[in-house]
Amino acid sequence: MRFQNRVALITGASKGIGRATAQRLAREGGAVAVNGRDAEAVAAVVRGIEQEGGRALAAVGDVSQAADVARIVEQTLAEFGVIDILVNNAGGGTMARWLDDLDEAGWTKSLQLNLTGTFLVTKAVVPQMRERRRGRIVMVASVAGRNMSRLSGPEYSAAKGGMLAFMRHIAVELGPYAVGVNAVAPGPTMVDRVAKKWELRGAEEREKILRNIPLGRPAQPEEVAAAILFLASEDASYITGACIDVNGGSFMS
């Protein structure tokens, strides 16, 4: 029960890695504010946690919009009193494409969803962590931000790279206040969105992607969630400004 008496706000938690993280954290005693844009999907995650005896709150909203972020954070603090853990998971990739096929609107949309949302939520949550001199922030970046993406476009790689730079910067700022700030960098993970992209690839292209993963397979959401929970726990009390590669070794390839 590593998260007994701890409260977590997890963005993009209605499915995939975020959902797996919310479920696992609740099973280890934590109270969870489950964020997502789809109210029905968020409610389903909350019900599942409560049915297992956990505590959860539906925090519906778009974290790329400042007004939604303010409401989500206020709602979480009103319900639970504090936010001990923030998991910045909300985001999403694009279809793989070349730079010539990318327009300004697509570039802006990807950065808004993946990077601006992370900035807005972090900025809103940090003051009460700093005041209490306690907190954990985990960014769900990507191997795309470490080198490039074979499943998404350059705008996604840029956004995730920006997230890692943002993580390192605020780790320095918040270190004196005992707030740990870290990231995970997943590779291809079989969430619904990636599974759909995977199905569109031919056998030869899939084989080529898998050859670049030393462990020879995509990840499951629960495997990424396990690394997130480690960084969110007291087991990582002396780790900050770090990125854990949860990508089967593909960062080396």
For the cut 70, the answer to whether the pLDDT of residue 234 exceeds it is yes
Catalytic annotation on 177? no
What is the per-residue pLDDT for 147?
78
Report the pLDDT averaged over residues 216-228: 92
User: Domain map of the chain by residue range?
Assistant: 7-246
> Which segments of the chain does DSSP mark as H helices, in order?
16-27, 39-51, 66-80, 104-111, 117-132, 154-174, 192-200, 203-211, 221-232
Q: Which residue has the higher pLDDT, 249 or 136?
A: 136
In sequence order, the 6+-apart residues with CB closer than 8 A to the CB of 199 are none
Distance CA 8, CA 16 (A): 17
pTM for this predicted structure: 0.91
Q: What is the pLDDT of residues 161-190, one digit of tens each?
A: 999 999 999 999 999 999 999 999 998 887
The two tokens of residue 82 are: 């504090």
3-state secondary structure 85-105: EEEECCCCCCCCCCHHHCCHH
For the cut 70, the answer to whether the pLDDT of residue 150 exceeds it is no
What is the per-residue pLDDT for 189?
80
Which residue in the list 3, 156, 166, 248 is annotated as catalytic?
156
Q: Which CATH number does the domain 7-246 belong to among 1.10.287.610, 3.40.50.720, 3.40.630.30, 3.30.1330.10? A: 3.40.50.720
What is the per-residue pLDDT for 196?
65
Q: What is the pLDDT of residues 25-35, one digit of tens each?
A: 999 999 999 99
- Would the CA dihedral through 220, 221, 224, 229 be positive or negative? negative
State how far the alpha carbon of 203 is from the alpha carbons of 146, 189, 199, in Å. 26, 18, 9
Give the mean pLDDT of the chain: 91
